[in-house]
Every structure is written in structure tokens, then in C-alpha cells.
Amino acid sequence: MAEISTPPSGDKRGEVGERLWAGSMTAITLLLVGVVVYTSAHWGFHPPSQVETIDSTSLHEGGEFSEANLGTVIAPDGSAVVRVVAQQYAFVPDCLVVPAGKPVTIRLASADVVHGFLVQGTNVNAMVVPGYVTTVHTMFKDPGERLMPCHEFCGVGHQAMWARVRVVEPSSFPSDANNKQKAVSCAP
Ligand code: CUA
């Protein structure tokens, strides 16, 4: 019966390298999982969970995303709903005005291809897929202006597709005294 023995390793450096490699890969994996857990729990980063369909070919013909409805409407409780259309290669309106310190719901629909949008320094980051309404909920703490670029390649004009988000004090929110339900924006 042949004697079974482990082959002579003879290469301690190789073994140390293997352990270093396995250890660092485990550490990186744990770090990435930690980042996902932290951003979803602490910053409220998560994919939109609702599925709401819409006919992207007829947005302009009426309904929620017709031109007159685009922009911000303030509810009696002070919260805001912002409706935006994403299309090659602009957001309409291209300047959103929102109240600071109030719940803000942003609803987007695409008129053509897949777009994406994020608002710098906030948890707002989502894709806008034709045929679906993207809804995100957020709150802007401080007044100021933030950029909202399209972050999904949508064609040759992609890099020029972006909007601004102007956060203002609720007291200085532009409102039409005669018609509080009029959608407003800061687009020229
Ligand atoms: Cu729209 Cu990139």
C-alpha cells in the first residue's frame, strides 16, 4: 500500500500570497455589502418599487404629463409634486422649483427612450423607462441650486441633457394667488 503524504509545498511565499488575495477579496466584498446597506438604510437609496404604466407615445396629447401639468404643484399641506417629461435631449421643464424642508414627490415619464436622472447630493437617482412612470420621494433640506443630469446614455445629445433644481424657502415659493393648482417652474 502506497504511503499517502502531502506533496512538499516548498513555497511559503505562494501560500502567503494566496491568503493575502483571499483575505483582501473578502474584505472588499464585505465593504461593498456594507456600502449598499448603509446607503439604503441611511440615505434612503433604493430602486422605485411601484410599477405604474403609461403610454409614452401620447404624453403630449393630454393627461397627467401634458404641457400645462409639467412643473411643481403645492398641496394644501405644503408638500410638492413635480411632474417632468424626459425626452431627447432635455427635461421639460428644465428648471424645477421645490420648497425646502417639505416632502417632495417627483414623477417622470419618458417620451422616447430610456433616460436617467439624479439630483446631486440627494437620494434622488432613478431611471426613466418609456412606458412607465418613475416616482421618487425626497426632501430638500436647504435652499440652493442643484444639478440634475441625465445619467443614462440616450443618444448623441446625452451629455447636454440636464436640468436644474432650485430649492427655495416655502414662504418665497412662486405661487399663483388665483390658482394654487397651477404648475410652476423656474424654466425661462
Ligand atoms: Cu437622456 Cu441621457
Give pLDDT tens digits along the chain (188 positions): 556 666 566 678 888 989 999 999 999 999 999 998 888 887 766 666 677 888 888 888 888 998 888 999 988 888 899 999 999 999 999 999 999 999 999 999 999 999 999 999 888 999 999 999 999 999 999 999 999 999 999 999 999 999 999 999 988 776 654 455 788 888 77
Q: Say what the pLDDT of residue 158 is.
A: 96
Cβ 111 under 6 angstroms from ligand 1: no
Q: What Å distances lie between residue 100 and 42, 52, 56, 143, 188, CA to CA?
A: 20, 27, 31, 6, 21
Nearest residue (CA) to ligand 1, atom 1 = 115
Give the cell for residue 36: 449598499
Atom of ligand 1 minimally distant from the CA of 114: 1
Residue 20 burial (10 A CB sphere; 0-12, 13-18, 19+) = exposed
Cβ 115 under 6 angstroms from ligand 1: yes
Contacts of 66 (CB under 8 A, 6+ apart): 59, 60
Atom of ligand 1 minimally distant from the CA of 161: 1
What is the amino acid identity at position 165? V
Burial 73-95 (b: 16+ CB within 10 A, else e): bbeeeeebbbbbbbbbbbbbbbb
Q: Say what the pLDDT of residue 86 is.
A: 95
Q: Say what the pLDDT of residue 177 is.
A: 45
pTM: 0.73
Q: Say what the pLDDT of residue 95 is.
A: 94
Cβ 150 under 6 angstroms from ligand 1: yes
